[in-house]
């Protein structure tokens, strides 16, 4: 039976990540990077597509699990008829090679353990050649090489193209397995001591978590969300991937399955805000620097997303040999939306850099000239239709949110010049652009009869993204048009109080069949809008419900289906955790 998406927990080393199920199986791991091909792909197929399970013999699901304090070290407890064991899973921050460490510790009694390792390179399509070498197991196929060792040594054997093991742990005994990847043409990397690596990982994560300046009532949820955002950071560059997975469905059995293992520019503004508000200036600066490198070049070539190191080519393809999570196909890698025109990203980029400057992050000398170049391109382009925030595949439109974010771009340029008149730039020119966009949006994107902003010019459909209008400063929160928009979204786009992005009933703007769940970040936006419009009690109530959707280890996917009570979409989702942090900090500010 397919495990629920929120039955998985995340471990990672700040360059890639793995998902571990409640049954003790690692069902997803891409090596050596987030966007590399998976060597464990059972998440999107079955066990023959690669997995690594360690559990008490005959057991099906764990008793409980948690992260060790404020860390990304996962502790899974198994209580059996003969005793209790604890399995500790983590990926130490790497020196050179990625390691996946699994430590089994006897807590009481004596427990017989069983292990099955099926390595399948290239998303489950390649069975490697496995042999013994230097007392370890090594699996090789093409460019990939993976070593498996244990301390103390455990007897392993091959069976049905898998490496199996069986061993017993008594109270106080420990057995550690280490899985290490390296390019097959290079020598095996130096061995890590699994027990020393565990202590170092705990120390590193605790020290990082202690930097959090938030001390409000939701601190556990906020810190867990910040740790998740840190775990989705590609440390060599500072880029943050949207999620570590691909093709987890927005509708079970549907086709809305996308690859989120890339860095979206639109996340930048919210990410920077969340990190800076919680005291993480180093991470915010690294993300700002990644952003500047990624967008450098011809402003006409600006993309909505890039690879973890700033790669531009992210071609979309399908993997027909994978049956998909809960039979949801196609399974995709890459993302064709990379070629879309989404005008809102210009606003998000300029807003991000304005936030960084205002927070005191030292400016890069070339950054302002780059911003002027982007703004110059937007000045000649903002009147065009685009695919919008939600990356629709049903044709370009004049999306209200895109126009609002074009206004943000001009507004932030004006603010920057007002704060630092020594910078080159024509503030009067950008004020004129800002005023023109504002007037057009209010005239063409607002329905006076229904007292709400609409999804696009001339449309009767609504869009949750219009909840951001007061947040970005386009209109004040007490403007009747803002209040009317919030009320309309609540009336027409909510399911059990949670917010959908837009309506998918009937002919949909996104050009895709089927439905999707409520979008978690949009629900956080609603909580923010309620707070801004003076409905603080309702904002807190909605936020409490959203925090209650977190999994047993504090993780959120992209969406939530109130009918089935299941999380949907790629997991864990940076956007959702950014929303949680931002709303928690904003509510805390209301208390001061």
Which tens digit of pLDDT belongs to each residue from 556-571?
999 999 999 999 999 9
Q: Which percentage of the chain shows pLDDT scores above 70?
A: 99
What CATH number should be reported for the domain holding residue 358?
Answer: 1.50.10.10
Domain count, the chain: 2
What's the pLDDT score for residue 1?
A: 53
Same-domain status, 289 and 336: yes
Same-domain status, 458 and 402: yes
Same-domain status, 395 and 497: yes
Instruction: Label residues 80-99 b or e (16+ Cβ within 10 Å = b).
Output: beebbbbbbbbbbbbeebbb
Residue 242's pLDDT band (cuts 50, 70, 90): very high
| Mean pLDDT confidence for 224-253 | 95
- Compute the distance between CA of residue 196 and CA of residue 483 in angstroms, rounded to an integer: 56
What's the pLDDT score for residue 299?
A: 82
- Taking the model in full, what pTM does it have? 0.96
DSSP H stretches of helix in 445-556 = 480-492, 520-532, 536-547
| Residue 489, token pair as written in the block | 């979204």
Cα angle 219, 225, 226; round to 5:
90
| Mean pLDDT confidence for 281-309 | 89
Same-domain status, 361 and 335: yes
Q: In sequence order, what are the beta bridge partners of 151?
A: 176
Q: Which percentage of the chain shows pLDDT scores above 90?
A: 83
Same-domain status, 196 and 226: no
What's the pLDDT score for residue 264?
A: 92
359 versus 112: the higher-pLDDT residue is: 112
pLDDT at position 269 over 80: no
Same-domain status, 153 and 290: no
Whole-number mean pLDDT of the chain?
94
Secondary-structure breakdown of the chain: helix, strand, coil percentages, each rounded to the nearest 5? 35, 25, 40
What's the pLDDT score for residue 123?
A: 98
Same-domain status, 228 and 85: no
Domain assignment of residue 363, given as a range: 211-590
Task: Kindly provide the residue ranges of all beta strands, DSSP E only, lying in 426-523, ordered along the sequence.
Answer: 446-447, 452-453, 494-495, 498-499, 518-519
What's the pLDDT score for residue 414?
A: 96
What's the pLDDT score for residue 506?
A: 57
Same-domain status, 58 and 189: yes
Contact (Cβ atoms closer than 8 angstroms) between residue 34 and residue 16 = yes
Residue 592's pLDDT band (cuts 50, 70, 90): low
Same-domain status, 136 and 224: no
Taking the CA atoms of residue 519, residue 520, residue 522 and residue 528 in that order, the dihedral angle to the nearest 10 degrees is: 160
Per-residue pLDDT tens digits for 455-488: 999 999 999 999 999 999 999 999 999 999 999 9
388: left (phi over 0), alpha (psi -120 to 50) or beta: left
Tokens 């867990």 belong to residue: 224
Same-domain status, 215 and 146: no
Same-domain status, 227 and 203: no
Which of 181, 208, 235 terminates a domain? The answer is 208
- Compute the distance between CA of residue 274 and CA of residue 305 in angstroms, rounded to an integer: 20
What is residue 363's DSSP assignment? Answer: P
Per-residue pLDDT tens digits for 11-61: 999 999 999 999 999 999 999 999 999 999 999 999 999 999 999 999 999
What's the pLDDT score for residue 35?
A: 98
What's the pLDDT score for residue 508?
A: 63
Which of 175, 208, 241 terminates a domain? The answer is 208
What CATH number should be reported for the domain holding residue 74?
Answer: 2.70.98
Which of 208, 234, 257 terminates a domain? The answer is 208
Same-domain status, 181 and 305: no
């Amino acid at each position: 039976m397919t495990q629920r998406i929120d039955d998985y927990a995340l471990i990672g080393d700040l360059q890639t990540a793995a998902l571990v199920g409640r049954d003790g199986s690692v069902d997803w791991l891409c090596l050596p990077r987030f966007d590399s091909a998976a060597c464990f792909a059972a998440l999107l197929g079955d066990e023959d597509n690669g997995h690594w399970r360690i559990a008490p013999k005959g057991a099906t699901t764990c008793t409980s699990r948690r992260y060790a304090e404020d860390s990304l070290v996962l502790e899974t407890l198994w209580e059996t008829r003969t005793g209790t064991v604890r399995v500790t899973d983590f990926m130490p921050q790497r020196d050179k090679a990625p390691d996946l460490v699994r430590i089994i510790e006897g807590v009481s009694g004596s427990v017989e353990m069983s292990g099955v390792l099926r390595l399948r390179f290239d998303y489950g399509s390649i069975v490697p050649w496995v042999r013994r070498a230097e007392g370890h197991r090594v699996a090789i196929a093409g460019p990939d090489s993976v070593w498996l060792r244990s301390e103390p040594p455990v007897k392993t054997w091959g069976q049905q193209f898998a490496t199996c093991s069986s061993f017993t742990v008594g109270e106080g005994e420990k057995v550690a397995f280490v899985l290490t990847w390296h390019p097959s043409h290079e020598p095996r990397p130096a061995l890590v001591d699994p027990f020393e690596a565990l202590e170092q990982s705990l120390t590193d994560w605790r020290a990082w978590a202690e930097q959090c300046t938030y001390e409000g009532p939701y601190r556990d949820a906020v810190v867990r969300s910040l740790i998740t955002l840190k775990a989705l950071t590609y440390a060599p560059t500072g880029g943050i991937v949207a999620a570590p997975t691909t093709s987890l469905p927005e509708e079970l059995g549907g086709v809305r399955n996308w690859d989120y293992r890339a860095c979206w520019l639109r996340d930048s503004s919210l990410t920077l805000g969340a990190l800076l508000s919680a005291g993480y200036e180093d991470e915010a600066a690294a993300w700002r620097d990644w952003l500047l490198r990624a967008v450098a070049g011809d402003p006409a070539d600006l993309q909505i997303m890039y690879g973890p190191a700033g790669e531009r080519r992210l071609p979309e393809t399908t993997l027909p040999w994978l049956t998909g999570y809960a039979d949801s196909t196609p399974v995709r890698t890459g993302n064709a939306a990379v070629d879309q025109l989404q005008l809102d990203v210009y606003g998000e980029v300029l807003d991000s850099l304005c936030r960084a400057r205002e927070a005191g992050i030292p400016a890069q000398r070339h950054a302002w000239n780059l911003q002027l170049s982007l703004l110059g391109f937007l000045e000649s382009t903002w009147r065009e239709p685009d695919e919008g925030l939600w990356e629709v595949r049903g044709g370009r439109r004049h999306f209200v949110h895109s126009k609002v974010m074009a206004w943000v771009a001009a507004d932030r340029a004006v603010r920057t010049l007002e704060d630092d008149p020594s910078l080159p730039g024509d503030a009067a020119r950008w004020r004129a652009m800002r005023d023109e966009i504002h007037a057009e949006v209010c005239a063409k994107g607002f329905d006076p009869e229904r007292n709400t902003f609409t999804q696009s010019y001339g449309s009767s459909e609504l869009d949750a993204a219009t909840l951001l209008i007061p947040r970005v400063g386009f209109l004040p929160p007490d403007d009747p048009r803002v209040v009317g928009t919030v009320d309309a979204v609540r009336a027409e786009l909510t399911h059990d109080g949670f917010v959908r992005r837009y309506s998918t009933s009937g002919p949909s703007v996104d050009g895709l069949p089927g439905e999707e769940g409520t979008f978690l970040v949009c629900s956080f936006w609603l909580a923010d809008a309620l707070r801004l419009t003076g409905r603080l009690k309702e904002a807190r109530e909605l936020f409490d419900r959203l925090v209650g959707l977190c999994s047993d280890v504090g993780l959120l996917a992209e969406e939530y289906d109130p009918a089935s009570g299941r999380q949907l979409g790629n997991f864990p989702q940076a956007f959702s955790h950014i929303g949680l942090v931002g709303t928690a900090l904003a509510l805390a500010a209301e208390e001061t």
